[in-house]
Chains A and B, each alone.
Chain A
Amino acid sequence: MEVLACVKRVPMVGGKIVITPNGCAIDTRMSGFTVSPHEECAVEEAVRLAERHGGTVTVLTLGPPEAADQLRDALALGASRAVLLETDGREWGPMATAEAIVAAIGRAGQPYDLLLFGNESADTGGYQVPVRVAHALGLPCATGIKGIEVAADGGRVTARREHLGAEETFDLPLPAVISVKEGINLPRYPSLPGRLRAKRASLERFTPDWHAEGLAIAGLRVPATERHRAEILGAGTDAVPALVALLAELGVLS
């Protein structure tokens, strides 16, 4: 089966978010970038499906030239083709992003059986690119999925997710669009041969045109947290009596 996995390059924010002086982006000079967590699992799932059912995995991202790093990470995990929709570093809205992905799928000429996405990106959290792509292509779509099984004849897929502690399943005809959540699998570490192959692989590059959309960012703010710096109860086991007293005060000791 032919699987497309779409990923997003996002900042590694660590313990603190710092905003750029213009107030519209995260300052990434002191941090690196990574693949958004749900999408890391989308790549792993795509590779597992191709291993189980045959076929190949194509990984696609829309981002600046440096997003080639994230594509190579996916190639190292077992994807065999990579498509970079290259931007000038500006933030793209979800509608324009979905349009660019749809255009790239049309250009590829090769039909995909399954299009995998992350449920929402870690940074902008728009929750909609996979759904918009599905509508534009006239495909069924399930989101927030934590388990995928392809039927023996390869014509249908069962997608599972959680809803209020229960499990709900969607039975969809292929081709289909599915967005996954972290926890669907535990992504593998890239092998050394995988990394070498990824380093040498050539990427297909396209430069889609950015356009504005109805939702426009005016600025970013780090919310003021109400908490102050922690009161230190003590060091090591010497702090245990104070800790017990605190737990008693909070009413969590029986």
Chain B
Amino acid sequence: MTVLCLVEHAAGEVADTSRRALTLARQLADSAGGAARTAAASEAGPAPDGAARAVTAVAFGSGPDGTALAGQLSGHGVADAYLVESPDLVGYAPQAWARALAGLAGELGATAVVAAGTDRGNEVLAHLGAIIGLPMAANCAAAAADGAGRWRLTRHRWAGSLLEDAVLEAPVALLTVAPDVVAAESSLGPSAVSVRSYEPALEPADLVIRATESAGRSGGVSLATARVVVGGGRGVGGPEGFGALEELAGLLGGVVGVSRVVTSEGWRPHKQQVGQTGTRISPELYLACGISGAIQHMAGCLSAKHIVAVNTDADAPILAHADYAVIGDLNQVIPALISAIRARNGSP
């Protein structure tokens, strides 16, 4: 079987989310090719990598040239790669990308199309599902073939706080891969990836939806990539209480993140929100102050290496997720912590 995988890239670098999607795509191909591989293995000893190399990568745009792309995809179990190019296709155009994937999937007889569960991946596969009239399963954590045209999936609900086991019946499985679940695997050994160019047949309506990108925003540590996040929730008590958290974040080389109630009260801007409808963080340390630990919030910080909670309530749900906790009022604990760190650093 052929599994197509949409590969996103920025500045010539394949996105980490797409590397993870390639891993799930390969697992999917393996699950379908298992029988054939076993048959071959009984004759020829060690399993050949035929089934493992049934993933075809698809990338758009002029970013990476073919050689650079091939180099980056080598080791991910990719056999072939297509670089979609069209004079009409400049920049991101979700419906046009989906039209191109539909064309390629048809020409290659693909039985599955996989993309990362990013904004773009989910959007393009939704368009693809609408174009070819098939179901689309967003944010899968696992997927395996279960006979012809039948697939067993595990999907994320509530941004991963709940898992849905599902059965997909479709001639072509359309899947996106949940972020931060499937580890990118690039240890399959180098493989020769042949890169071809593909010019899609687009319809005028496809090019109506086109993104114009502004120059990258500069400055500051971003919440998504910060090494330390100092979180503030309802327990902070009001907008004025965030000064101490900002000061602490500064001392720890981190940034402040907040819970949903803080932004819906208008205490802090939404861009600081951590959670299902805000930013997902994965810091070394998440120091969650006055945050009860609602599902919607925890979905955004479960990738944190260490969670330390400061909360007055020893029964708060966050204590079931945190590694360490201080039971107390953050408005006393945090200023005392700031003083102690300053004293340790030898600064007043």
Contacts and interface: CB of A to CB of B under 8 A. Distances in A.
A246 B228 CA distance: 14
Given A186-B266, A243-B308, A252-B285, A126 B138 contact: yes
A230 B311 CA distance: 12
Interface in B199-235: 205, 208-217, 222, 227-228
B308 A15 contact: no
A26 B324 CA distance: 29
Contacts of A227: 307, 320-323
B216 A237 contact: no
Contacts, number: 275
B113 to A, nearest CB: 14
Nearest to A23: B165
Interface stretch (B42-50, B65-73, B123-131, B188-196): B123-131
A165 B222 contact: yes
A173 B167 CA distance: 38
Of B162, B293, B336, the most chain A CB neighbours within 10 A belong to B162
A124 B139 CA distance: 10
A231 B319 CA distance: 9
B214 A167 contact: yes
Interface stretch (A49-57, A106-114, A197-205, A215-223): A215-223
B345 interface: yes
B309 to A, nearest CB: 6
B307 to A, nearest CB: 7
A244 B341 contact: yes
Interface string A220-234: 111101010111111
Interface string B278-301: 100000110000001111100000
A140 to B, nearest CB: 5
A48 interface: no
A172 interface: yes
Nearest to A138: B205
Contact of A166 (B161, B166, B215, B293): B215
Interface string A119-135: 01011111110011011
Given A125-B158, A220-B163, A227-B321, A168 B213 contact: yes
A138 B208 CA distance: 11
A37 B325 CA distance: 29
A13 B158 contact: yes
B157 A124 contact: yes
A155 interface: no
Interface in B222-275: 222, 227-228, 251-254, 260, 263-264, 266, 270-271, 273
B326 to A, nearest CB: 4
Contact of A220 (B123, B135, B162, B168): B162
A230 B307 CA distance: 9
Given A123-B157, A173-B208, A214-B168, A253 B129 contact: no
Contacts of B211: 163, 168-170
Contacts of A239: 326-328, 333
A243 B324 CA distance: 9
B167 A186 contact: no
A128 B216 contact: no
A29 to B, nearest CB: 17
A174 to B, nearest CB: 12
Contact of A246 (B94, B158, B160, B324): B324
B324 A214 contact: no
A103 interface: no
B70 to A, nearest CB: 23
Contacts of A32: none
A35 to B, nearest CB: 12
B345 A17 contact: no
Interface in A34-60: 37-38
Given A132-B129, A132-B130, A220-B157, A15 B92 contact: no
Given A167-B214, A237-B328, 17 more contacts: A13-B158, A13-B295, A37-B296, A95-B135, A124-B157, A135-B130, A163-B92, A166-B213, A166-B217, A217-B166, A230-B309, A230-B321, A230-B322, A240-B340, A251-B284, A252-B253, A253-B252
